[in-house]
Amino acid sequence: MFEFLRRKPAAPAEPAPRPPDARPLIALIEDEEDILQLLTMAMEQAGWEVAVARDGILGLELVRRRRPDLVVLDIKMPRMNGYQVLTRLHLDSTLVRIPVIVMTSQAAGEKLSDEEWARRLRVNRFISKPFSPEQMVELVREELGRPTSPQP
């Protein structure tokens, strides 16, 4: 009668492998709509596929489900901030090697800057707002061109 209580939950399904000739997939996790639209347009014009999430929880789900080639992550977001997303990515052996570019506005008076926190959490790049879409496209292009190396 209560057999569902004895069943083990199903393991999350592995994402379907993408074809080798597929465009690189960028996960863009950002809560500010104007920045989201500008970066999406710039990255699509650069030839990349862009998947977006508007908060950290949705962003983490997106990364787990789609396994992007690169993550562009805002730090200050609702529901789950970028530090929490980064921590969870680094705890997952299947996600830890995905390169991450962190973007944020610097808040005055913090003990550690966002850049220092991002470096401690082993992000690949950091960019402070405001920045131009062209600057972000160049950072993404550089990161996509780097060979992947194992994380410590």
User: Per-residue pLDDT for 1 more than 70?
Assistant: no
Q: Give pLDDT, residue 150.
A: 43
Tell me the residue type at 52: V
**pLDDT computed for residue 112 by the predictor:** 54
The predicted-structure confidence for 38-93, as pLDDT tens digits, reads as follows: 999 999 999 999 999 999 999 999 999 999 999 999 988 989 999 899 999 999 99
Rounded Cα gap, residues 22 and 12, in angstroms: 23
Q: What is the structure's pLDDT at 146? A: 75
pLDDT of residue 18: 74
Question: How high is the pLDDT of residue 4?
Answer: 47
Helix and strand tally (H, E) in the chain?
6, 5
- Relative to beta strand 70-74, strand 100-104 is parallel
Comparing 14 with 61, the larger pLDDT belongs to: 61
Find, among 109, 98, 103, the residue nearest to 151 by Cα: 98
- Planar angle of CA 58, 75, 38, nearest 5 degrees: 75
Residue-wise pLDDT for 96-125, tens only, equals: 999 999 987 765 445 556 566 656 667 778
pTM score: 0.80
CA-based Rg of the chain, rounded to a whole angstrom? 17
